[in-house]
Structure 1
Amino acid sequence: TFLTGLPSNLLAFYTFLMKVRQKPTPVDILLLNLTVSDIFLLILLPFKIVEAASGMEWLLPAFLCPLTNYFYFNSIYLSSLFLMAISIDRYLGVAFPIKYRLRRRPGYTAATSVVFWVVVFAHCSLVYIVQYEALSPNGTTTSNSKSHCYENFSPIQLQILLPVRLEFFVVLFCLPFTITIFCYINFVHILVALPKIPAQRKQRAMGLALATLFNFIVCSAPYNLSHVVGFVQNESPSWRVYTLLLSTLNAALDPAIFYFSSTAVQRAFGNCLAGLWYKLITIMAWCHLPCLTRCGEGGRGRGDQ
Structure 2
Amino acid sequence: MGLNLTLAKLPDGELQGQGPTPSNASQAAGRNATAPSEFDTIVLPVLYLVVFVASLLLNGLAVWIFFHIRNKTSFIFYLKNIVVADLIMTLTFPFRIVHDAGLGPWYFKAVLCRYTSVLFYGNMYTSIVFLGLISIDRYLKVVKPFGDSRMYSLTFTKVLSVCVWGVTAVLSLPNIILTDVPPTADNMHDCQALKSPLGVRWHHAVVYVNSCLFVAVLAILIGCYIAISRYIHRSSRQFISQSSRKRKHNQSIRVVVAVFFTCFLPYHLCRMPFTFSHLDKHLDESAHKILYYCKEMTLFLSACNVCLDPIIYFFMCRSFSRRLFKKSNIRTRSESIRSLQSVRRSEVRIYYDYTDV
In 1, the alpha carbon distance for the partners of 2:222 and 2:328 equals: 32
State the distance in 2 between where 1:86 and 1:74 align: 19
> Which residue is equivalent to 2:191?
150
Q: Structure 1 pair 229/65, CA: closer, same or farther in 2 (3 Å)?
A: closer
Q: Equivalent residue for 1:264?
A: 319
Q: Does the Cα contact within 8 Å between 1:169 and 1:228 map onto a contact in 2?
A: no
In the alignment, structure 1 residue 181 sits paired with structure 2 residue 222: yes
| Change over 3 Å in CA distance of 1:96–1:151 after alignment to 2 | same
CA–CA separation in structure 1 for the residues paired with 2:105 and 2:139: 45
Residue equivalent to 1:288: none
Alignment partner of 2:155 out of 89, 107, 111: 107
In structure 2, what is the equivalent of residue 299 of structure 1? Answer: none
What is the alpha-carbon root mean square deviation over aligned residues? 3.3
Identity %: 26
Deviation at 1:89, TM superposition (A): 0.7
Report what 2:144 is aligned to.
96
State the alpha-carbon separation in 2 of the partners of residues 14 and 178 from structure 1: 33
Q: Which residue does 2:209 correspond to in 1?
A: 167
- Normalised by the length of structure 1, the TM-score is 0.73
CA drift of 1:234 comes to 6.7
Residues 10-49 of structure 1 show CA distances to partners (whole Å, capped at 9, x for unaligned) of: 22223223323xx531111111001110111112112122
Note closer, same or farther for the CA distance 1:182–1:97 as it changes in structure 2 (3 Å cut): same
Change (3 A) 1:143 1:214: farther
Task: For residue 190 of structure 1, report the CA deviation from its aligned partner.
Answer: 2.4
- Is 1:211 aligned to 2:255, yes or no? yes
> How far 1:95 moved relative to its partner?
1.1
Task: Give a deviation string over 1:44-73, Cα, whole Å, max 9, x none.
Answer: 112122233339996748445411112111
More off after superposition, 244-253 vs 156-165: 156-165
Give, in angstroms, the shift of residue 258 of structure 1: 0.8
Does the aligned pair in 1 maintain the 2:150–2:156 contact within 8 Å? no
SS at match of 1:24: coil
Q: Distance in 1 between matches of 2:142 and 2:241?
A: 13
Query: What count of residue pairs does the alignment treat as equivalent?
Result: 264
Number of the residue aligned with 1:42: 90
Describe how 1:198-237 pairs up with structure 2 within 5 A.
199=244, 202=247, 204-225=248-269, 226-233=271-278
- Greater RCO (Cα-Cα under 8 Å, separation 6 or more): 2
Contact 1:162 1:230 in 2 (8 A): no
Note the residue ranges of structure 2 that are not aligned, 5 or more in a row.
1-50, 282-287, 331-357
Unaligned runs of 5+ in 1: 276-305
- Are positions 1:246 and 2:301 aligned together? yes
Give TM-score, length-normalised by structure 2. 0.63
For 2:130, the aligned partner's letter is F
Q: CA offsets per residue over residues 182-222 of structure 1, 9 Å max, x none?
A: 112212332344322364762x4344223222232232223
**AA aligned opposite 1:7:** L
Structure 2 Cα separation of the partners of residues 269 and 148 of structure 1: 46
Q: Give yes or no for the alignment of 1:9 onto 2:51.
A: no
Distance across 2 between alignment mates of 1:273 and 1:101:
37
The one-letter code sitting in structure 2 at the alignment partner of 1:76 is M
